[in-house]
């Protein structure tokens, strides 16, 4: 006989507008089952009597608008119910954005472009996911713009991307990532090349605007832009640049009054800047934890995710068959620059990389750029990428490198861009 629902687990009965927060211990898995009522995880509804599995390190909130009974199976690090959540404010924000979409539909205008900002660990990605899932549940087709190069929700770290959202995030796996537009940035912090970061922000904004011109649903759906937690100095300037490149209508500032005041002061008056509290449930992540999440994201790219296993390929690539570049020459003092050249030029320059042993473990982006002439080289910086490989070994004698690739040989294109990011393939 099948065990009764809830048998062997810990039951929680939640009152309306409360949430159960839990963290999964390292090396463990926890299953969640909705027994009665209705509940959602970051904006995605749970089905009754279905067991959802969360892996080690997951930090989850199960929220209920009407009240519900849920059960947890497995070892949690913490599990508690909180009555104090900002969900009502987040829902009101969603309602206001939906109002703007309706108006856009009526007046044949474009829907809201929203930028979500705040320091690290305030729940920016979670708020983006929530707003996108709520919008898509109402039949909208919003776009997620991911500018967080450290913790991208769309592609591997070190990239900037855009993704059309067509269905709510999967409770366990997040948004389905099909055909995203991805650009190579190359490192996990915008500060390593802020010129490139701003340039790629502009490129994404341009592509998004072009899409809005030909796709009415995308235009009305608008976009939700997730940003980095670096909100000072050039990081702050990058936010101002993003607001202008995307011509954002709304900025949601999570948890930081100073940032809120600065943006109110510096953005045009028609931009609505809104301060929202962060959820007490958002867990601070250590450097180590962030690094692990990044590693996991790359591993997922090659090996798949739980139910969906991928089998990557390993093969040799001759040095003579590829061209490897790094974007940005090391900066030199202004006084040493050749006449007529600016620092911008050096930061956006394609610098050829001579393959050697130090390539080992680096992640390389495969540029969509046609394998053309030297003359068209500069366009590569603003060309999207079609995938990633990792260099697993280099044989300088034989002039070949062994790569891990999601697809069998040959490489689809031969222009490769090197990332600062490394991945050690332990499989």
Q: How far apart are CA 403 and CA 315, in angstroms?
A: 6
Contact (Cβ atoms closer than 8 angstroms) between residue 97 and residue 105: no
Q: Establish if 151 lies at the interface with ligand ATP (CB under 6 A).
A: yes
Q: Is 157 in the site for ligand ATP (CB under 6 A)?
A: no
Indicate the residue among 244 and 293 with the shorter CB distance to ligand ATP.
293
CA 134 – CA 140 distance, rounded (Å): 9
Residues 213-252 that bind ligand ATP (CB under 6 A): 229
| Greatest distance between any 2 Cα atoms in the chain | 82
What is the nearest approach in angstroms of ligand ATP to the Cβ of residue 163? 16
Could you tell me which stretch among 136-144, 280-288, 333-341, 369-377 binds ligand ATP (CB under 6 A)? 280-288
Cross-strand partners of 12: 70
Nearest residue to ligand ATP by CB is 281
Among 25, 121, 292, 420, binds ligand ATP (CB under 6 A): 121
Binding residue (CB under 6 A) for ligand ATP from 40, 148, 249, 262: 148
Instruction: Determine if 155 is a binding residue for ligand ATP (CB under 6 A).
Output: no
Nearer to ligand ATP, 151 or 415 (CB): 151
Q: How many CA atoms lie within 13 A of 21 on its CB side?
A: 14
Question: Among all chains, which residue has been given the structure tokens 């998004």?
Answer: 208
- Binder of ligand ATP out of 120, 189, 244, 392 (CB under 6 A): 120
From 124-132, 137-145, 300-308, 339-347, span contacting ligand ATP (CB under 6 A): 124-132
Write the CB contacts of 271 (distance below 8 Å, at least 6 apart in sequence).
243, 248, 249, 250, 251
- 131 vs 403 by CB, closer to ligand ATP: 131
- Which is nearest to 372 in space by CA: 339, 314, 413, 311? 413
Does 182 sit near ligand ATP (CB under 6 A)? no
Q: Of the listed pieces 70-78, 175-183, 263-271, 276-284, which binds ligand ATP according to CB under 6 A?
A: 276-284
Q: Which residue in 247, 238, 286 sits closest to 117, CA to CA?
A: 238
Sheet strands (E) in 193-300: 223-226, 250-254, 272-276
Q: Between residues 391 and 421, which has the closer beta carbon with respect to ligand ATP?
A: 421
What span, in angstroms and rounded, lies between the C-alpha atoms of 277 and 273?
13
The reply on whether position 124 binds ligand ATP by CB under 6 A is yes
Contact residues for 115 (Cβ-Cβ < 8 A; gap 6+): 225, 227, 239, 242, 243, 246, 248, 250, 251, 252
Binder to ligand ATP among 29, 59, 137, 422 (CB under 6 A)?
Answer: 59
| Alpha carbon distance 66, 64 (integer Å) | 6
Sequence-separated (6 or more) residues with CB below 8 Å from residue 341? none
To ligand ATP, the closest distance from the beta carbon of 279 in angstroms equals 4
Binding flag, residue 21, ligand ATP (CB under 6 A): yes
Beta strand 59-64 with 143-146 is unpaired
Task: Match 């702050």 to its residue by tokens.
Answer: 236
* Cβ proximity to ligand ATP, 121 vs 371, nearer residue: 121
The secondary structure of residue 118, as a DSSP letter, is -
Q: Which stretch, 156-164, 194-202, 277-285, 327-335, contacts ligand ATP (CB under 6 A)?
A: 277-285
Please report whether residue 149 would count as binding ligand ATP according to CB under 6 A: no
Near ligand ATP by CB under 6 A: residue from 240, 283, 348, 386: 283
180: contact with ligand ATP by CB under 6 A: no
Task: Indicate the residue among 122 and 218 with the shorter CB distance to ligand ATP.
Answer: 122
Binding to ligand ATP (CB under 6 A) within 302-321 occurs at none
Measure the CA–CA gap between 360 and 394, rounded to whole angstroms: 6
CA–CA separation, 23 and 59 (whole Å): 4
* Distance from C-alpha of 324 to C-alpha of 322, rounded to nearest angstrom: 6
Nearest to 355 by CA among 398, 385, 312, 386: 398
* Smallest distance from ligand ATP to CB 304, Å: 21
Whichever of 190 and 384 has its CB closer to ligand ATP, that residue is: 190
Q: What are phi and psi of 354, to 5 degrees?
A: -85, 120
Among 44, 76, 126, 155, binds ligand ATP (CB under 6 A): 126
Number of residues that bind ligand ATP (CB under 6 A): 17
Query: Among residue numbers 61 through 100, which ones bind ligand ATP (CB under 6 A)?
Result: 61
Sheet of strand 385-395, all strands in order from the earlier edge strand to the far edge: 313-318, 400-405, 385-395, 362-367, 415-422, 323-327, 350-352
In the complex, the residues that contact ligand ATP under the rule CB under 6 A are: 21, 59, 61, 120-126, 148, 151, 229, 279, 281-283
């Amino acid at each position: 006989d099948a065990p009764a629902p809830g048998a062997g687990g810990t039951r929680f009965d939640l009152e309306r507008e409360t949430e159960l927060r839990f963290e999964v211990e390292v090396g463990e898995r926890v299953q969640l089952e909705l027994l009665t009522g209705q509940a959602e995880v970051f904006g995605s509804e749970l089905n009754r009597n279905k067991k959802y599995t969360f892996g080690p390190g997951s930090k989850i909130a199960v929220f209920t608008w009407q009240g519900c009974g849920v059960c947890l199976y497995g070892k949690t690090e913490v599990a508690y119910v909180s009555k104090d959540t900002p969900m009502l404010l987040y829902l009101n924000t969603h309602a206001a954005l939906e109002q703007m979409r309706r108006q856009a539909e009526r007046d044949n205008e474009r829907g809201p472009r929203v930028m979500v900002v705040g320091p690290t660990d305030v729940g920016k990605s979670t708020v983006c996911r929530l707003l996108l899932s709520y919008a898509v549940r109402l039949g909208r087709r919003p776009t997620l713009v991911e500018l967080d190069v450290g913790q991208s929700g769309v592609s591997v770290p070190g990239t900037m991307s855009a993704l059309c959202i067509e269905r709510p995030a999967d409770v366990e796996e997040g948004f389905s990532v099909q055909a995203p537009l991805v650009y190579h940035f190359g490192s996990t912090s915008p500060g390593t090349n802020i010129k490139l970061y701003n340039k790629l922000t502009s490129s994404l904004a341009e592509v998004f605007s072009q899409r809005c011109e030909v796709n009415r649903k995308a235009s009305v759906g608008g976009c939700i832009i997730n940003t980095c937690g670096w909100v000072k100095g050039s990081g702050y300037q990058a936010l101002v640049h993003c607001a202008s490149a995307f011509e954002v209508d709304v900025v949601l500032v999570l948890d930081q009054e100073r940032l809120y005041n600065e943006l109110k002061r510096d953005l045009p008056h028609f931009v609505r800047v809104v301060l929202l509290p962060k959820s007490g449930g958002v867990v601070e992540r250590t450097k180590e934890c962030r690094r692990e999440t990044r590693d996991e994201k790359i591993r997922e790219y090659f090996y798949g995710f739980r139910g969906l296993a991928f089998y990557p390929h390993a093969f040799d690539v001759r040095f003579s068959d590829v061209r490897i570049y790094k974007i940005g020459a090391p900066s030199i003092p202004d006084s040493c620059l050749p006449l007529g050249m600016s620092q911008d030029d050096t930061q956006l320059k394609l610098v050829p990389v001579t393959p050697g042993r130090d390539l080992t473990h680096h992640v390389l982006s495969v540029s969509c750029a046609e394998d053309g002439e030297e003359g068209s080289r500069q366009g590569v910086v603003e060309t999207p990428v079609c995938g990633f490989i990792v260099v697993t070994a280099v044989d300088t004698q034989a002039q070949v490198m062994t790569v891990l690739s999601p697809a069998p040989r040959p490489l689809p294109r031969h222009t490769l861009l090197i990332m600062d990011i490394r991945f050690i393939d332990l499989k």
